[in-house]
Amino acid sequence: MSNDISLREKISFGIGAVGKDMGYWIMAAYLMVYFTDVVKLNPAYVGFLFLFARIFDAINDPIMGWIVDNTRTRFGKFRPWIFIGTLVNCAIVTLLFFDPTPYFGPMGVMIWCGLFYILWGVSYTIMDIPYWSMIPAFSSDSKVRDVMSVIPRTGAMIGGQFVVIFGLPIIAFLGKGLGGTEAQGFFRYTLLIVLCFIIFETICVANVREHVKTPLRNKIAFKDMLGLLAKNDQLVVIIVLTIIQQIACNLVFGTMVYYFKYAFCREDLYPYFMAAGAVSQFIAFVIFPSLTEKTSRKTVYLLSASLMVVGYLSMFFFGSTAGSNPFVAGGAYCIASLGNALALVCTTVMLADTVDYGEYKLGTRSESIVFSMQTMTVKFGGALANFMSSITLAVVGYIPNEVQSEGTILGLRTIMFVASSVLFIIMMVIYLKKYKLNGAFYKNMLSALEVSRSEALDKKAQNLKVRYAIDEDAVSIKVHAANKTEAINMLVDSLKDNPNIEDLEAFRKAVFARESESSTGIADGIALPHAKSSVVKKSVIAVATLDTPIDFESQDGKAVDTLFLIASPEDADAHLSVIGKLGLILNDATNVRSIKEVTNTLDLVDLIGKAEKNAIAAG
């Protein structure tokens, strides 16, 4: 396992968050007002729709996490789903902001909006869960995780705040400013967001990869999924805390447009408040790693909740009525935004830690199932908050595009700022009483995990020498090589990140030196280029199957389409043991045929592991 995350990976991961949250915040910030003020849906219907859709979607999240955790491809288990989910979600959000009122009656409009809103949530899940699941797969080092948790939060803030700050003026320009309607403005703005979403996720998928290597494990049975969640007591604590946090935050953000339009009566200041809040969030993201290092994650988490309580109560008392001083209101909002940003990063890091805790306590590592809880709780909390906000608007007599009564405004202010503050206080109490992944316990847990992983790998490697010599990142399926030299170079290059090879170029020279003595093409289209070298610490194998066979000067004269590159230390016994067991596997015609036909990287690794077990049993 390497803790070295390249700058390119960090930037690409952050860019992915920018696009992802641009796609999210066009929904979070504008969909409710689009439904009520543009499409003219009844607020009570909107509230029930949000509640039903989010609860339905939240139930699907662990299922998607289970699917991702059981995915095995040459590109890893996360990146394919990020890309697929992005494309599907972009198609659906485009239809969601396509105004159906000229084509359908009231019932048809309700069905259109309800159907595509539900589909939006399901499709967003497909890409959101694997994206966040990448964090514990980058590193087990807490400092690296702190940084890798800040990066997507910063990117999400940039993407989300761009949509929020510039959304209303851009929508107005693209609609009425171009001689169209408000509905057309929303639709055209959506097309711009969708384009950015696709481009940014493509950059992310192309450049990030998984770094944490754990012993290969069996797939998680669906029936075991709920057990993994329920038995991870620290994950349960995080679920409760996150639901409370999301309800509280969405009570504010879900009605922020109404606050500026009807309570504060300064809709023109909305972009400026959002920009100031974004600056506060950016500051929080920048200082988070230093804060946790100088104090502790526990201190930072409690500080974050306290800042939100102070900020939102200040907005209620001093900055939420017509005529309130905008600088006082803005300052209070910045304080709350600072706390919100710190809380978001803390929650992400804590979730990553519960992945390790689950492996430590239950012996099973399930990144995506755990991180499905983040998306599930965000949606569930948001659904409850939007439901409460919508019902509040209906109960207190909210009338779209009209001057609101004092009772309506007071109800809005109370829900936004007082109710949310009470929830943050409850959150702090639960955290203090129930959360324990801090201090010495957390450090001892990580140390025990490293030992158990190493012991598990060493124990299996003693018997399955070929299987555990294979570098899963150095397995290539149906790739092209023009000739023998190109094929060997490709195999050597695939080992560039393997920690067991200290000098790749020295090893490359050793391989070609061995090949110059005699061809390592054996029979049946298979070649075993190999070399012993002092730059190799432990036996390593790279594998490639070719789309077109090449001449390898093999003993039987057949062209080669399957290659195993064997890197061995200066230990004759180790070298002969690996090459001998590989020979046993390849002596079986069924194994050879299966290896040549395989289309998936990890399926090939599994196949070789099973073949080695069978060879050992037969011997």
What is the set of active-site residues?
A: 530
Alpha-carbon distance of 462 to 455, in angstroms, equals 11
Count the Cβ atoms, other than its own, within 10 Å of residue 302.
19
Tokens found for residue 194: 């969708």
Residues 6+ apart with CB under 8 A from 335: 280, 307, 310, 311, 314
Three-state SS for 526? strand
Three-state SS for 472? strand
Amino acid at 19: G
What are the distances in angstroms from CA 285 to CA 16, 25, 148?
17, 19, 11
- Are 401 and 261 in contact, with CB atoms under 8 Å apart? no
Q: Between vectors from CA 555 to CA 549 and to CA 557, what angle results, nearest 5°?
A: 45
- Are 44 and 390 in contact, with CB atoms under 8 Å apart? yes
- Signed CA dihedral, 254, 257, 263, 264: sign only: positive
Alpha-carbon distance of 601 to 564, in angstroms, equals 14
The residues facing 544 across adjacent strands are 476, 563
What are the distances in angstroms from CA 52 to CA 127, 380, 387, 477?
21, 10, 9, 44
Residue with tokens 């030299």: 485
Alpha-carbon distance of 543 to 381, in angstroms, equals 47
What are the distances in angstroms from CA 248 to CA 385, 386, 398, 409, 518?
7, 11, 21, 18, 71
Per-residue burial over 188-222, b = 16 or more CB atoms within 10 Å of its CB, e = otherwise: bbbeebbebbbebbbbbbebbbbbbeebbeeebee
- Are 589 and 521 in contact, with CB atoms under 8 Å apart? no
With CA atoms as reference, report the closest residue to 32 among 16, 43, 24, 21.
43
Pairing between β-strand 560-568 and β-strand 540-550 as defined by DSSP bridges: antiparallel
The residues facing 545 across adjacent strands are 562
With CA atoms as reference, report the closest residue to 601 among 64, 220, 79.
79
Residues 6+ apart with CB under 8 A from 80: 71, 73
Alpha-carbon distance of 148 to 144, in angstroms, equals 6
> Does residue 556 come out as left (phi exceeding 0), alpha (psi in the -120 to 50 range) or beta?
alpha
Alpha-carbon distance of 295 to 503, in angstroms, equals 40
Residues 6+ apart with CB under 8 A from 337: 276, 277, 278, 280, 281, 284, 311
DSSP state at residue 36:
I
Q: Between vectors from CA 191 to CA 185 and to CA 196, what angle results, nearest 5°?
A: 130
DSSP string, 527-579: E--EEE-TTBSS-EEEEEEEEEEE----TT-PPEEEEEEEEE-S-HHHHHHHH
